[in-house]
C-alpha cells in the first residue's frame, strides 16, 4: 500500500475516533496514598474505546538468509503481540542455532567471495541512498507497523523516528567513500601506510524499544565499511526489520550481505554471540545480558564486542532554572517512549530552593499526560512492550511505596486491557532505594532534593551506570562544571534526547563499551593494518 494512501486511511480512523463522543482519555481522581496525603489517580475511560487497527499488511514473517525469506529449520514459529491488547499480530519464524549457522555461512560467503566488499565505496554508497529513498516512500506504513508491534505513539514513530532512520542511512552513505588510512612518517628508509579494512562478518543483536532506529545504528556503519551482517531482532518486535530488509534488496543489496534471524536470546542470540565464524559482535540491551554476550564472545573466538547497555541517568535542575521549562524537559526526559529508553532521565535532582514548586508542577504535568491508544492523535503514552516489562515496572512501583518514598501520582495500571501504566511520580526518594538504583525502564519519575553542586555531582556519579545526564541551568559556569564532572557518555545542557546522526552515543562504566553513531561508530567495523615497504635511494623521507 502506498504511504500516502496509508496515511489517509490511518488519519481517517483517527478523526473518526476523536469525534465519537467518547470519554476523555485522562482524568484525575483523589485517593489517599496511605501516607497521609492525597494523590492523583487516572481514569480507565480509554480502555473501553475501540482501538484503531492500522491498515497494514504483514507480508514478512520468515527469516532472511542469503537474500531469501525462509522458514526456520525447525519449522517453529512464535507469536508477536500487540501490546495494546496482548493479542497476537502474527506468527514469526523462530530461528535457533541452525538458522544462525546458515545465516553466518551466507554472510561469510558474501564477504569472502561476493561483490559487496569488492564494490567501489561509491557503489555501496549509492545502494544505501536508494534504500533510504525506498524507506521514505514507505515511511507511513513502517511507522504504523512499528507502533502496532511496539506500542509507541504513531506520531513519534512517523515524525521523529522514521526521519531519523532515513537521515542515519544518508549519513552512512556519505561516509562509505571517505574511509581511508594514512601515510605515516617513520624513522629510516621506509614507506609506511595504514589500511582501514572491513572487519568481516558482523553479528548484531538489537533491542525492542527502538527497533528501526537500532537497526540503523547497527546496520548503517557496518555496511558503509564493507562488512556483511547477521542481525538478530528482539523477539518482541521482529516485524519492521524484516520489512526494511526487503527494501534493502530492492535497492540492490547483494544476497547474503544482510541476513536477519528472529528468535530468542538463549537460543539464537547465544548462538550468534558464540559463533566461531563471526568476526565482530554488537549488542544493545540490558547490562546483565551484555555481560553474558561479552562472556560468550570471549569464550569463542575472542571477537571484539561493542555494547550499549543500561542507564540510570541523572537530570539536574539547578537553582537558577526556569521551573516551568525544567518541568517540561524533565518530564520528556523520563516519560519519552513510555520510559523505555536506556538514557531516560530517571533520577531527577532538583535544587532545594526550587524543589517544592518543581514537584507540584511535575506532578500536575504527569497527571495531564495523555495515555491511550498510540494510534490516536494527541496520545503521548502507549503501553509497555509486554507483560514481563509491565509486571516489572509495577514491582518497582510497589518497592518504591514499601521503601517509604512518597507516591505523588500514578502507581497502578491504566485501564483493564493491555500493558498500560499510569504516569508515576515519586518524591522523597533516597539514593539507596531500589527505585533510585535500578533501571526501571518504565514511566516512573523519581525526584530528589540537593543543596549544592558538590553534593549533586557526588550523588549523580554514585551509580554503576554512566550512559547520559541532563543539566538544566542558565549559568554557563555551572554548565561547564557539571559537564566535566559527570561521568557519562552524553551530557545534554538544557535539552535531552538529541540523537543526531553525527553525535556519538555510548556509556561509561557498566553502561557499555564503544560508541554508536558518528565517526566513532566506524571504528567498530574496521581493522587497521600497517604496511611497511623499504625505500631505495629515496629523494626524501
Q: How many helices and strands (H and E) does the chain possess?
A: 17, 22
- In this prediction, residue 25 has a pLDDT band, given cuts at 50, 70 and 90, of very low
Alpha carbons 286 and 293: distance in angstroms, whole number: 10
pLDDT digits over 494-531, tens only? Answer: 999 999 999 999 999 999 999 999 999 999 999 999 99
In order, the DSSP letters of 478-489 are HHHHHHHHS--S
- Mean pLDDT, the chain, rounded, equals 92
Alpha-carbon distances of 265 from 206, 442, 485, rounded to whole Å? 11, 22, 37
pLDDT above 70 covers a percentage of the chain that reads 91
Domains of the chain: 63-309+515-527 (3.40.605.10), 314-501 (3.40.309.10)
Closest CA to 467 of 509, 507, 517: 507
In order, the DSSP letters of 334-387 are HHGGGG--TT---EEEEETTTHHHHHHHHHHHHHH--BS-TTSTT--B---SSH
Residue 348 in this model has a pLDDT that exceeds 80 = yes
The neighbour count for residue 539, using CB atoms within 10 Å, is 5
First to last CA, the chain: 63
Residue 347 in this model has a pLDDT that exceeds 50 = yes
Is 484 exposed, middle or buried (CB count within 10 Å of its CB: 0-12, 13-18, 19+)?
exposed
450 and 350 Cβ atoms separated by less than 8 Å: yes
Alpha carbons 47 and 44: distance in angstroms, whole number: 6
Model pLDDT, residue 55: 87
Catalytic residue among 308, 408, 439, 516, which? Answer: 308
Over residues 192-217, mean pLDDT: 98
C-alpha triplet 36, 42, 44: angle, nearest 5°:
140
- In this prediction, residue 9 has a pLDDT band, given cuts at 50, 70 and 90, of very low
Identify whether 308 is a catalytic site residue.
yes
82 and 150 Cβ atoms separated by less than 8 Å: no
pLDDT digits over 85-134, tens only? Answer: 999 999 999 999 999 999 999 999 999 999 999 999 999 999 999 999 99
pLDDT digits over 145-157, tens only? Answer: 999 999 999 999 9
Give the cell for residue 481.
Answer: 562544571
pLDDT digits over 363-408, tens only? Answer: 999 999 999 999 999 999 999 999 999 999 999 999 999 999 999 9
Residue with cell 512499528: 146
Residue 44 in this model has a pLDDT that exceeds 70 = no
- In this prediction, residue 80 has a pLDDT band, given cuts at 50, 70 and 90, of very high
Give the cell for residue 148.
Answer: 502496532
Q: Which residues of 495-513 are buried (b: 16+ CB within 10 A; e: fewer)?
A: ebbebebeeebbbbbbbbb
Model pLDDT, residue 183: 95
pLDDT digits over 55-69, tens only? Answer: 899 999 999 999 999
414 and 42 Cβ atoms separated by less than 8 Å: yes
The neighbour count for residue 448, using CB atoms within 10 Å, is 23
Model pLDDT, residue 49: 65
The neighbour count for residue 524, using CB atoms within 10 Å, is 23
Amino acid at each position: 500500500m502506498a504511504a500516502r494512501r496509508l496515511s489517509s486511511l490511518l488519519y481517517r480512523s483517527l478523526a473518526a475516533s476523536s469525534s465519537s463522543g467518547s470519554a476523555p482519555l485522562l482524568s484525575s481522581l483523589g485517593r489517599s496514598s496511605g501516607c497521609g496525603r492525597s494523590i492523583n489517580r487516572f481514569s480507565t475511560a480509554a480502555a473501553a474505546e475501540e482501538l484503531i487497527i492500522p491498515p497494514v499488511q504483514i507480508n514478512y514473517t520468515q527469516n532472511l538468509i542469503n537474500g531469501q525469506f525462509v522458514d526456520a529449520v525447525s519449522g517453529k514459529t512464535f507469536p508477536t503481540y500487540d501490546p495494546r491488547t496482548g493479542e497476537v499480530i502474527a506468527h514469526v519464524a523462530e530461528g535457533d542455532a541452525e538458522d544462525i549457522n546458515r545465516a553466518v555461512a551466507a554472510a561469510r560467503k558474501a564477504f569472502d567471495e561476493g561483490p559487496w566488499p569488492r564494490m567501489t565505496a561509491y557503489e555501496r554508497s549509492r545502494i544505501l541512498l536508494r534504500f533510504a529513498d525506498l524507506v521514505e516512500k514507505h515511511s507511513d506504513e513502517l511507522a504504523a507497523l512499528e507502533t502496532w508491534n511496539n506500542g509507541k505513539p504513531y506520531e513519534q514513530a512517523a515524525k521523529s523516528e522514521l526521519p531519523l532512520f532515513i537521515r542515519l542511512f544518508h549519513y552512512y552513505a556519505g561516509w562509505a567513500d571517505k574511509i581511508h588510512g594514512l601515510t605515516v612518517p617513520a624513522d629510516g628508509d621506509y614507506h609506511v601506510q595504514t589500511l582501514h579494512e572491513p572487519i568481516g562478518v558482523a553479528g548484531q543483536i538489537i533491542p525492542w524499544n527502538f527497533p528501526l532506529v537500532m537497526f540503523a545504528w547497527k546496520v548503517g556503519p557496518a555496511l558503509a565499511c564493507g562488512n556483511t551482517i547477521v542481525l538478530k531482532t528482539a523477539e518482541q518486535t521482529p516485524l519492521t526489520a524484516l520489512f526494511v530488509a526487503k527494501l534493502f534488496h530492492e535497492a540492490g543489496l547483494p544476497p547474503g550481505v544482510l541476513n536477519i534471524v528472529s528468535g530468542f536470546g538463549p537460543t539464537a542470540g547465544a548462538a550468534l554471540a558464540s559463533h566461531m565464524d563471526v568476526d565482530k559482535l554488537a549488542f544493545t540491551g540490558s547490562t546483565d545480558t551484555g555481560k553474558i554476550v561479552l562472556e560468550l564472545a570471549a569464550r569463542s573466538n575472542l571477537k571484539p564486542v561493542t555494547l550499549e547497555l543500561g542507564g540510570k541517568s541523572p537530570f539536574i535542575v539547578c537553582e537558577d532554572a526556569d521551573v516551568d521549562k525544567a518541568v517540561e524537559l524533565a518530564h520528556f526526559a523520563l516519560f519519552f517512549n513510555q520510559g523505555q529508553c536506556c538514557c531516560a532521565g530517571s533520577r531527577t535532582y532538583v535544587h532545594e530552593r526550587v524543589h517544592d514548586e518543581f514537584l507540584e508542577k511535575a506532578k500536575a504535568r504527569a497527571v495531564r499526560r495523555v495515555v491511550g491508544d498510540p494510534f490516536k492523535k494527541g496520545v503521548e503514552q502507549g503501553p509497555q512492550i509486554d507483560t514481563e516489562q509491565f509486571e516489572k515496572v509495577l514491582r518497582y512501583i510497589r518497592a518504591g511505596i514499601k521503601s517509604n518514598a512518597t507516591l505523588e501520582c500514578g502507581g497502578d495500571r491504566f485501564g483493564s486491557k493491555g500493558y498500560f501504566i499510569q504516569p508515576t511520580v515519586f518524591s522523597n526518594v533516597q539514593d539507596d532505594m531500589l527505585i533510585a538504583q535500578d533501571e526501571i525502564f518504565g514511566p516512573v519519575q523519581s525526584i530528589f532534593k540537593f543543596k549544592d553542586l558538590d553534593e549533586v555531582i557526588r550523588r549523580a556519579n554514585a551509580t554503576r551506570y554512566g550512559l547520559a545526564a541532563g543539566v538544566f541551568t542558565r549559568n554557563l559556569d555551572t554548565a561547564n562544571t557539571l559537564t566535566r564532572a559527570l561521568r557519562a557518555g552524553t551530557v545534554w545542557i538544557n535539552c535531552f534526547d538529541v540523537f543526531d546522526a553525527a553525535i556519538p552515543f555510548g556509556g561509561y562504566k557498566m553502561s557499555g563499551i564503544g560508541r554508536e553513531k558518528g565517526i566513532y561508530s566506524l571504528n567498530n567495523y574496521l581493522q587497521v593494518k600497517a604496511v611497511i615497504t623499504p625505500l631505495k635511494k629515496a629523494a626524501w623521507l
